[in-house]
Structure 1
Amino acid sequence: MGVTTRKQYRITALAVGMFMAVNLILLRSVILYKEKRVKYHKDHHVDKPVILIWNLPMGMENDYRVDEEECGEEIDCLLTYDQDLVNRSDAVVFHFDSASLNSMPKHRKSEQLYVWWSIEKNHKSNLKEFDNFFNLTMTYRRDSEIYAPYGSTNIILEELRNEKQFDLEELLQKKKKSRKMAAWAVSNCAVHRRMKLAKDMIAAGLDLDTFGQCFDDRDIGDEQNSESFYDTLSEYKFYLSFENGYHCKDYITENFWYNGLRSGAVPIVWGAEKKDIEAVAPKNSFIHVDDFKEVSDLVEYMIQLSVNDADYEKYLQWRKWVAIPQLAEDRFRISNGKKELHSFCKLCQVLHQQKTNAMNGEKKSMVVKSLREWWHTKENKECIFSDMLDFEMPQDGVRDFLMRIPQFRDNL
């Protein structure tokens, strides 16, 4: 073998060796990559429960978190909108506004929980087709299997603590400096009774600043729930927390929790019954329209409070709980540093408990026998009337159903 040939052989051998080494490295990388993918797949699709939101609520995809940081220790689920994961899901959640049998998954696993979810009052759907179909209800009503309110006293207190809003006197001085009386933001102009109530309050002498699509689309701050949003509303002494339904059970929305309580403007409540507000809000934290015989009496009371600092400040005493949690009412004290769970955290907790029960050989049957009966017949008649009076009549079939309800039929 000549010198040139030996050099070529060595070069070729070296090249082959390098090629094999590179491929070995690539192969190991692929293996490690696959191992990581398998581990990721296992961590996120097998080891912890999967919650699938089948249809978008109001057509919007929200970034709900269901992990230990958000929910607390040992409450961790994968929440997804990916319908391809339906067979891997432990719970499938259907929002009321687009839930129908025609749009349901083609196959249902026996151990899956089907959850009927509603963030809005809606009494125009028949719901008869869903008899013995769902396992759980998740709504703003306290008699739901999973109570999913728009807000809560403890959640607001937690937010205020996180933002270090401890100084009640600073908030009161801000209101004195601004001299602003009342604010109201509304984008649904079809609820005629609350629009008339606001107009009557203005006619009775209330100085009211209006915002929202019903009033030239005027914004409060940069966007809802932003720092500038709360900063603007905190300058007002009162906020009109008027709902789009009358006496609907537990229907207490952001109009009360965030536009009112959270911002520091005392809520003037119309819509939910006083007893429902009292069940979830601090004592002496709001003023209810139903307590006044005439609109003029309500406005007069608001004006008196606006010039009497001591009486007005009584409605904000609950905010001292931000700095001193020990002052809170017993029902709002959470022990051992635990936090109040949001709706999907509660559902995740149910799924973990279900898996624990299954491991112990325990199986509990959960079935909503008649969604229609629960949602319609257990609702206040005033709420159903308000839907009819403020909007169009219910869909075909619902009126016939309602006619069989004495509290509805007897008041026609």
Structure 2
Amino acid sequence: MLENARPFSSKCQFVCAIVLIVTIIEIYTIQEWESARYGQNPIYQRHPYKRPLNTQDYRFDLENVPTSPPEKTSSLSSESKSNDLTLPEQPLPPTSSPDETHSLSSESKIKDLPKQATPTPELAKPVQLYLSLKDQLEEHLKNATEKKIILVWVPMFGVKEKLQVDPNICGNCEITYDHSKISDEKTGAVLFHFDRTNKNNMPSTRNPKHLYVYWVIESSATLKVVRGQNLKFETDFHFNDTMTYRRDSGIYQNYDHANALDRIFASGVTPEKLLKEKTKLAVAVVSNCGYTPGARTRMKMLKELKSLGFGLDGFGGCFPGGRSFANGKSRGADDFYNAVRKYKFYFSFENSFHCKDYISEKFFNNAIDSLAVPVVWGGTKADYTAVAPPGSFIYADDFASMKELADYLNYLDSNDTAYMEYLRWVTMKPEQMPQYGRQRSYCQICRVLHGINIDDIYSPKFDESNLQRPLFSDGVAPRTVPNLVDWIYGEDNKECFGR
């Protein structure tokens, strides 16, 4: 048979060679993909945030979590602790009377914690100034009757909600998505959310009288590292205002629900009443397991707490079966708030580290609005203190290790008097809140269009002796953003991008 076989034709040989080359290329490609997938590719080693997300890598394996603490205390790593910042101290609960104190064992004794009395804070300087200007504000609001139009040219992720502002607080304004309003003489501000802002999605002509507002509430790390935004077009376009979570933004939009604190104060709730509702210890709701370095660090910290035997309930996409929390309802629903309210502590750990002023809904909505004590990580302590109800939170980086943090939370769980000090803010006066009187988002834009710039006083850059613009003006005061990329990236903390 073989002796009678005819030799391959040159055409057949050529086809076989092509098949062999393609096969080699496929094998090489698969190896490269697997190398990148599991982090061996040098590109991914140099830039770990570019590694494809493997949610399973960061999910809890509850079957393998030890039920007793390890022999040695594991300290917070450099990924989760900053040693080079000198920040204001956050008040901690006072020592209880002898008959109320639950002593800690020598292994878990809390050492070197700053002492505190029940917080009775002085009014923040911006709040004092706001109260002194309140009569002028009310007079200008009475005259802010001419309708102004706020045109949302690029809505947030394409969602077009029906929006309106209170004319008694903000002035008379209409909020619209109708692009034809770009030529309406009543239009004063045009908003562009970052996710679809590009050279192909802008008005054909630009009215120099309009405020062109660049809008983003993602952290700087997410914007740069995950989204890959170099902001070149946005900087060259010369937006003349910004709307972000940064306290020094032209228009301020943080994550808290409007008037949430007002509703809490009006409810008449007390720490004693809240304590009776607390039937569970601690909870974390996390769905971003590893898109950012901060998210990965967060999961490591939570996993370490579980390994210490701390009673943390985990929900969200990063925990097995975690989507069952609050009947599957997300924040904003009564079921969610009612479920969180049963816990003493809510872990408000961010997905970014020390990004200036980045404190998300995990703190404001999930914890504070639900009246659980937030245990926080991600922002600087100064950033939390600047916006949080006085004495309301526990700062994770105040503790040398996760074990020390767990010991302290267990101590508070056993000492009602000490625990309730973290809820004492609900009995304070509204004006004792550090952001009292500040308007934000569309309300602040409406004020600006009516010449009311009083909300500038809350910016950390505000200088009463050298005003950037009048607090009250006859028309829209000039606004500029000299360099958007320098402001968003250049003025942020360097560690924001390095974790």
Could you tell me the TM-score, scaled by structure 2's length? Answer: 0.61
Q: CA–CA distance in 2 between the matches of 1:195 and 1:143? A: 30
Contact 1:132 1:370 (8 Å CA) reproduced: no
Q: CA–CA distance in 1 between the matches of 2:384 and 2:488? A: 20
Partner of 1:83: 179
Q: CA–CA distance in 2 between the matches of 1:268 and 1:330? A: 19
Shift of 1:85: 1.6
Q: Secondary structure at the match of 2:164?
A: coil
Partner of 1:166: 269
Q: Which AA in structure 1 matches 2:172?
A: D
- Match among 184, 192, 195 for residue 296 of structure 2: 192
Shift of 1:244: 1.0
1:143 and 1:53, CA in 2 relative to 1: closer, same or farther beyond 3 A?
same
Matched, 1:115 2:213: yes
Contact 1:289 1:298 (8 Å CA) reproduced: yes
Q: CA–CA distance in 2 between the matches of 1:75 and 1:85? A: 19
- Within 5 Å, which residues of 2 pair with 1:96-111? 96-111=194-209
Identity of aligned pairs, percent?
Answer: 39
Q: CA–CA distance in 2 between the matches of 1:237 and 1:341? A: 30
Identify unmatched segments of 5+ residues in structure 1: 1-45, 335-339, 387-412
Shift of 1:165: 4.7
Shift of 1:331: 4.2
1:105 and 1:167, CA in 2 relative to 1: closer, same or farther beyond 3 A?
same
Matched, 1:248 2:355: yes
Shift of 1:156: 2.9
Q: Deviations over 1:51-110 (max 9, x none)?
A: 111112123223332232xxx346121101122222222111001122112211111112
Q: How many corresponding residue pairs? A: 321
Contact 2:240 2:480 (8 Å CA) reproduced: yes
Partner of 1:58: 157
Q: CA–CA distance in 2 between the matches of 1:173 and 1:384? A: 42
Q: CA–CA distance in 2 between the matches of 1:149 and 1:169? A: 30
- Match among 382, 386, 395 for residue 279 of structure 1: 386
Q: Which AA in structure 2 matches 1:270?
A: W
Greater share of residues in helix: 1
- Match among 327, 330, 335 for residue 228 of structure 1: 335
- Match among 214, 227, 232 for residue 128 of structure 1: 232
Contact 1:131 1:372 (8 Å CA) reproduced: no
Shift of 1:189: 1.6
Q: Deviations over 1:193-243 (max 9, x none)?
A: 111110011112211111122233223254422222211111101000011
Q: Which fold has the larger relative contact order, with Cα–Cα distance below 8 Å and residues 6 or more apart in sequence? A: 2
- Within 5 Å, which residues of 2 pair with 1:365-380? 365-380=478-493
Shift of 1:278: 0.5
- Within 5 Å, which residues of 2 pair with 1:139-218? 139-151=244-256, 155-161=259-265, 164-175=267-278, 178=279, 180-190=280-290, 191-215=295-319, 216=321, 217-218=323-324
Shift of 1:174: 1.3
1:74 and 1:276, CA in 2 relative to 1: closer, same or farther beyond 3 A?
closer
Q: Secondary structure at the match of 2:242?
A: strand
Could you tell me the TM-score, scaled by structure 1's length? Answer: 0.73
Q: CA–CA distance in 1 between the matches of 2:391 and 2:215? A: 31
Structure number with greater Rg is: 1
